[in-house]
Structure 1
Amino acid sequence: LGRHKLSRHENPEPLYDQEDAEACMELFQSVDFHQVIQLGDIRFHLRPVGHILGAACVIIEAEGKCVGFSGDVGRLNDIFMRPPAPLPALDMLMLESTYGDRRHEDVDLLSQLADIVNETVDKGGNILIPAFAVGRAQVLQHMLTDLMKAGRIPRLPVYLDSPMAIDVSEIYCRYEDQHRLSSSECHEMCSTVHYSRSVQDSKALADQAYPHVIIAGSGMATGGRILHHFKRLLGQHRTTVIFAGYQAGGTRGAKMVDGAERIKIHGDWIPVKARLEVLSGLSGHGDFTEIEQWLAQSDLAPETPINLIHGDPDALEAMKDHLRQNTRFEVDVAGYQSILRL
């Protein structure tokens, strides 16, 4: 921040450093799904919800009542993750509504990605994919590996240029019972993709011959190694940039998707001449119809109170209206600092 003059402070300092982060890790305890934990008078357990590896809803029991907190709920037919486990009977559910006003398109993502790659390769260009380190980077590796194996795209170098995403990929392969990929598919994915761990490895990609694919963080192009590749390649019309996730307003990714002709990176204005594509069906969040189906598969009584959280105002209202019209649950939007009593 100081080097690129991106802070309002003359000498910006981090809120915490690596030593602090490593020290706090001693406070974490791993818990298996469905393992019941007792904390005083409160009991709770976690159930998988398929958003990303380890994503869980929390089921809390106390004073004869049972309350569920959904967390981020995954897709019913995700490429990578298993579907969310059904909920037990509850006295109240706090339910996310990220996609409360949006429905995922029914598209063939593998064919869409194959077309983009083949068209870029035919031009002699390369492909840059900003990706979230957890979940999205692994799905993209799997899709590209599958397409090459099936002969739908040529065998070309694929680089994962994100130390965090590399570590996460190895964790995904370690816990293959938690997702849809087999052991052989995990091994093939990790052995096909080249991992750029060091800064030197990342810089060396500038010398790679076309065509190739670089997957790097961050997913919204707010930081990370993808920015260095953008500075180098956004000005070339042969380059293709694929956005494979939600782009929040005000981020570089959102500005590019909205058609910005230049974006500012490290103090310089970089022209955007590359082709831009969006893979919109890779979200790890279930939409309002998928969440409705998940609720129907669960053991919730018809009049179970559901309070909606974790959504923009429009999404909260749209999901409330949908569930009220299509279910018998008592649905409302949780108010800020409100107190709910059972």
Structure 2
Amino acid sequence: MRKLKIHFLGGSGTVTGSKFYLESEGINILVDCGFFQGTKELRQQNWLPLPIDVSQIDVVLLTHGHLDHCGYLPLLVKQGFQGTILGTAPTLAIAEIILMDSAKIQEEEAERANEEGYSKHHPALPLYDQEDVKRTLPHFKSVEEGKQIELAPECSAKFRYNGHIIGSTFIELNLFGKQFVFSGDVGRLNDDLLDAPLQPEWADYLFVESTYGDKNHPVEDVEGILQDLVARTLQNRGSLIIPSFAVERLQSLMYLLWKLYNKNKIPNIPIFVDSPMGTNVLNVFGRFPEWHKLSMSEYNNMRNHVTLVSSYRETWETIDDPRPKIVIAGSGMVTGGRVLTYLKQLMDKKSTTVLLVGYQAEETRGRKLLEGAQELKMFGKHIPVKAQVEHLESLSAHADQSELLHWMGNIKNIPEKVFLIHGENEALHTFKNKIEEQQGWQCHIPQLHEVLEIML
């Protein structure tokens, strides 16, 4: 018998900060190493050292490159991590882009806070900077999708396609004869850009995301909605601003708008993509064509149909452009990035429409807009909301309840335990009841910093 401790260091009782630490006599493994986003209480967790000896971690396994799954890596290295960080080649490419962008945003926000004096901290400092990211990258090592990787005696891992974003996987970890399956974030069954997720067939211990564990995505006529919003924007001679996640969502929106234009369903309205990170991710699509559905001619045509904005000078030129226009800019939950500049200048105009796409975490500006906020605080100032706010849920890159159940539906054994992670309270409990009722499997909802000991 061998003793294994599972530390739930993030993504537990919340949808952000995913970190799951498996501590054993043979090897110590951290699955994902995410940044906390959302409420102030959660964000403050990023400033605290992990309650484990970081120098003892042998390897980090990354399911994918989103900030809430990889954003804490530079801090891990600062705290003494000396091991290897494994992920698929596109995941590591995305992670590098996201970490550099995160560091840059933190540096800029600290600088702005110091100049304008709106931080309680003197001086305000970034959690990590671009040099910290550069010190993290040498730890990266890519793995092949579907190939078994030997990590230590009696321990191997396999990264398998799960269709959430380019490069994303679920992880099958075989440890001392038991199969631990970490879902990562599971993608959609029918996605414009990505194939359907593969499914696990055996899980002794299953860690499954529950972002939409309490609901199914609505069936929406996405093309029709976009068509109507473009027509409204032209009629109002205004701006359609779409805050977007730079990875996958931004490329999906580009593809949908290009497709509508190709079908003569919308005119050739100027489309500006203002996300340096999104542009970098677009380049990853070009580098890894085997990871998505687009042909290279479709990819190039879609790319040429939009104006890629790079500098802040071009951002202001776009804002001042009097033509009706579509602007897709980061970030998706309106927590930072270029979209804040557009909203600060254009959100108080009735001719502006803000289209939110996908999940909006608690206490983010995106969630506040959804809930009908009359004003938003940005750069230390309160900006009135006069724009019309719309929401598209079905563009989510996360599987909904029925798709999650389908993803688990090929498991041939009865897992010893199912851990429900990466979800808000209501989603977690609804999903727990659904799995126990439908599958009869024993589910547990771990709390942040819970430590569970099991014998193998």
Task: Tell whether 2:438 aligns with 1:306.
Answer: no
Alpha-carbon offset, residue 56 of structure 1: 1.0
Question: Which stretches of structure 1, 4 residues or more, deviate above 4 A after TM superposition?
Answer: none
In 1, the alpha carbon distance for the partners of 2:132 and 2:438 equals 48
Between the aligned partners of 1:22 and 1:83, the Cα distance in structure 2 is 34
Q: How does 1:243-254 map to 2 (within 5 A)?
A: 243-254=356-367
Which residue number in structure 1 is paired with residue 329 of structure 2? 216
- The answer on 1:267 being equivalent to 2:380 is yes
Q: Corresponding residue for 2:268?
A: 155
Tell me the residue number matched to 1:187.
300
Structure 1 position 299, deviation (Å): 4.1
Compute the displacement of 1:263 (Å): 1.8
In the TM superposition, residue 329 of structure 1 has moved relative to its aligned partner by 3.4
Distance in 1 between residues matched to 2:382 and 2:203, nearest whole Å: 53
2:453 maps to which residue? 339
Task: Tell me, yes or no, if the aligned pair for 2:164 and 2:186 is still in contact at 8 Å.
Answer: yes
- Give the match for residue 177 of structure 2: 64
2:245 alignment partner in structure 1: 132
C-alpha separation in 1, matches of 2:126 and 2:224: 43
**Equivalent residue, structure 2, for 1:23:** 135
Counterparts in 2 of 1:84 and 1:6: CA distance versus 1, 3 Å: farther
Match of 2:148 among 15, 27, 36: 36
Tell me if structure 1 keeps the 8 A contact 2:204–2:414.
Answer: no
Match of 1:74 in 2: 187
Deviation track 1:22-61 (CA, whole Å, cap 9, x = no partner) reads: 2211110111101221122211110011111111111111
Match of 1:12 among 124, 127, 133: 124
3-state SS of the aligned residue for 1:30?
strand
Give the whole-Å Cα distance in 1 for the aligned partners of 2:451 and 2:312: 45
Question: 2:434 aligned with 1:329, yes or no?
Answer: no
Residues 221-258 of structure 1 show CA distances to partners (whole Å, capped at 9, x for unaligned) of 12211111112111211111111122222222222222
Distance 1:85 1:250 in 2: 33
User: AA paired with 2:117?
Assistant: K
- Percent identity for Structure 1 against Structure 2: 37
SS of match in other structure, 1:324: helix
User: Is 1:294 equivalent to 2:407 in the alignment?
Assistant: yes
Residue 171 (structure 2) pairs with residue 50 (structure 1): no
Higher strand content, 1 or 2: 2
Distance in 1, Cα, partners of 2:446 & 2:381 = 43
1:95/1:306 contact within 8 Å kept: yes
Tell me by how many angstroms 1:64 deviates: 1.9
Asked whether the 8 Å contact 2:233–2:325 carries over to 1, the reply is no
Q: CA deviation at 1:305?
A: 3.6
Which of 191, 197, 214 does residue 84 from structure 1 map onto? Answer: 197
The residue type equivalent to 1:25 in the other structure is: L
2:366 matches 1:258: no
Residue pair 2:204, 2:415 contacting (<8 A) in 1 also:
no
Aligned 8 A contact 1:125 1:210 in 2: yes
Deviation at 1:303, TM superposition (A): 5.4
| Distance of 1:220 and 1:265 partners within structure 2 | 13
Letter in 2 for 1:129: I
Code of the aligned partner of 1:99: Y
Opposite residue 206 of structure 2, the aligned amino acid is L
Distance in 1 (CA, whole Å) between partners of 2:197 and 2:438 is: 20
Q: Deviations over 1:114-133 (max 9, x none)?
A: 11111221221111111111
The residue that corresponds to 2:279 in the other structure is 166
Letter in 2 for 1:119: R
Contact 1:145–1:189 at 8 Å: present in 2 too?
yes
SS in 1 for 2:349: coil
What SS class does the counterpart of residue 252 from structure 2 fall into?
Answer: helix
The change in CA–CA distance for 1:38 and 1:252 in structure 2 (over 3 A counts) is: same
Number of residue-to-residue matches in the alignment: 341
Q: What is the letter of the counterpart of residue 17 of structure 1?
A: D
CA distance in 2, matches of 1:231, 1:316: 35
CA contact (8 A) 1:303 1:328 kept: no
For 1:333 and 1:264, locate their aligned partners in 2 and report how far apart those are by CA, in whole Å: 34
Structure 1 position 300, deviation (Å): 2.7
Q: State the TM-score, normalizing by the size of structure 2.
A: 0.71
In structure 1, C-alpha distance between the alignment counterparts of 2:135 and 2:401, rounded to whole Å: 40
Structure 2: 5+ residue runs without aligned partners? 1-112
2:142 match: secondary structure? coil
The one-letter code sitting in structure 1 at the alignment partner of 2:453 is I
Instruction: Give 1:235's aligned residue.
Output: 348
Distance 1:341 1:115, change over 3 A: farther
Which amino acid in structure 2 is aligned with residue 63 of structure 1? F
| Partner Cα distance (1:65, 1:190) in 2 | 45
- After superposition, the CA RMSD in angstroms is 1.7
**Structure 1-normalised TM-score?**
0.94
* Residue 235 (structure 2) aligned to one of 122, 125, 130: 122
Contact 1:58 1:71 in 2 (8 A): yes
**Structure 2 contact 203–415 (Cα < 8 Å) conserved:** no
